[in-house]
Structure 1
Amino acid sequence: MTKKLVAEFVGTFALVLFGCGAAVLAGFGIVGQLGIAFAFGLAIVAMAYGIGPVSGCHVNPAVSFGAWVAGRMRLNEMLGYWGAQCVGAIVGAGVLYVIASGAPAYSIDAGLGQNGYGTGSPGEYSLVAGAVFEVVATFIFLVTILGVTQKGAPSQFAGLAIGLTLVVIHIVGIQVTGVSVNPARSLGPAVWVLGDALSQLWLFIVAPLVGAGLAGWAFRAKLLASDEAS
């Protein structure tokens, strides 16, 4: 279990550092929205093959929750994953803050790639729009993850499929909420930025868990499970 928790810490750390880092250090003026989207997706691909054999590379409390609802992990294991993921995200965002602070022009007011709605949304999308996007996007993300990791699926391509799904979710959703689909990824920057990032954090905990829970239930109820998995 210790190895799994260390792996989840490292994986979530990397996701936040490189995903949010693309937004903070390269940003829209250098790599653009497409570059940020690929940074998140490629970080997941790298970690899927790097730590996947150890922990399954959840690096996301919503993924662990969906797996638990689907009957693929125990409650105590899920809670352990949550702790490692949240700590990894906070440390990753902290390291990003230290790096970004090395530029004279940077201020924490510029953010750390946090998520938000209303004035906190890159496109100033409403709370309702943000909630709908996060629930639906997390549901689709979990359908992909639970689908490609079920018995009979071509597991050697699982990391690539999951990473590319996260890319397309970011391409569509960055302007809506900055894209969470991951409570830990939202928590990390919010702890350092505070203000609206922290007060709006509840949405990026609740909505991804709802979407993940629905996907997990669909697999537990055998609605989306393959015949081999059944």
Structure 2
Amino acid sequence: MVVSLSQKCIAEFFGTFVLVFMGCGSAVVAGGHVGFLGIAFAFGLSVVTMAYAVGHISGCHLNPAITISLWSTGKISGKDAGGYIISQIIGGIVAAALLYFIAQGKADYSLAANGLGANGVEEGSPDHYSLISGLVAETVLTAIFLVVVHGSTSKNNQNGMFAGLAIGLCLTMIHIVGIPITGVSVNPARSIGPALFVGGAAISHLWVFIVGPIVGGLLGGGIWKLYDSN
């Protein structure tokens, strides 16, 4: 089956929309009911379900850090990478906009008090971790994530049919550890959407959730190449 770039971009838009809407939605709408563990699983399950829904179309990146890492290892062309990243960011923004609209249907909802699932450091961190701690955590967690992405989708991996499950569970694992630090991004598109609506510190610290994941993604790709010749 020949898949056009426009079809791939639509798949990336939709998949990223679902990831941000469900993941951030679990924090904004259901956080008080499910807690950090429930939020972690919402993000992980979003990736698992989208892997099998759009993975055969676009590869289900849903994340500029993944796309850049795969581009750096020659798994995707620059043209496709550019289209993917734009689609992912737009998907995240549309998801945040819809989530904000729905959240306002609750009488006591306040953007300032309840947020929109934006990532943060210092006062914006759930447990008030420093900017440096947040940047290091985002870099390391993304590197781990990308080693799993590269490894589970490698041609040398005989269990490739379970790649979506492995990647989703890895994202869940990362969130279980990382939510208290930054709320967990490891994905610039996931951070950009909510930050645009929340503003303030979410915007001023947004660079942490762009630079950290991109650097971590490149590190993860480099680590994978050290032991896998795919």
Please indicate the TM-score interval, normalised by the length of the shorter structure. over 0.9
Moved over 6 A (4+): none
Q: CA RMSD in A?
A: 0.8
Shift of 1:184: 0.3
Residue type at the aligned position of 2:167: I
Quote the Cα distance in structure 2 between the aligned partners of 1:225 and 1:114: 35
Offset from partner CA, 1:101-133 (integer Å, 9 cap, x none): 100010111210000100010000001110111
Residue type at the aligned position of 1:23: A
Shift of 1:215: 1.6
Work out which of the residue numbers 150, 154, 177 in structure 1 matches 2:154.
150
User: What does residue range 7-156 of structure 1 map to in structure 2 within 5 Å?
Assistant: 7-27=11-31, 29-109=32-112, 110-153=114-157, 154-156=159-161
Shift of 1:69: 0.9
Work out which of the residue numbers 198, 204, 211 in structure 1 matches 2:209.
204
User: What does residue range 184-199 of structure 1 map to in structure 2 within 5 Å?
Assistant: 184-199=189-204
| Ranges in structure 2 where 5+ consecutive residues have no aligned partner | none
Residue type at the aligned position of 1:63: I
Shift of 1:218: 3.0
**1:218 and 2:223 equivalent?**
yes
Offset from partner CA, 1:21-63 (integer Å, 9 cap, x none): 0000011x21011000000000000000000000000000000
Equivalent pair of 1:68/1:216 in contact (CA under 8 Å) = no
Quote the Cα distance in structure 2 between the aligned partners of 1:155 and 1:223: 20
Q: Matched residue pairs, number?
A: 224
SS in 1 for 2:95: helix
TM-score after normalising by structure 2:
0.96
TM-score after normalising by structure 1:
0.96
Quote the Cα distance in structure 2 between the aligned partners of 1:183 and 1:150: 24
% identical aligned pairs: 55
Offset from partner CA, 1:169-222 (integer Å, 9 cap, x none): 000000000000000000010011111111110010000000001122234xx3
Quote the Cα distance in structure 1 between the aligned partners of 2:99 and 2:228: 39
Partner of 1:2: 6
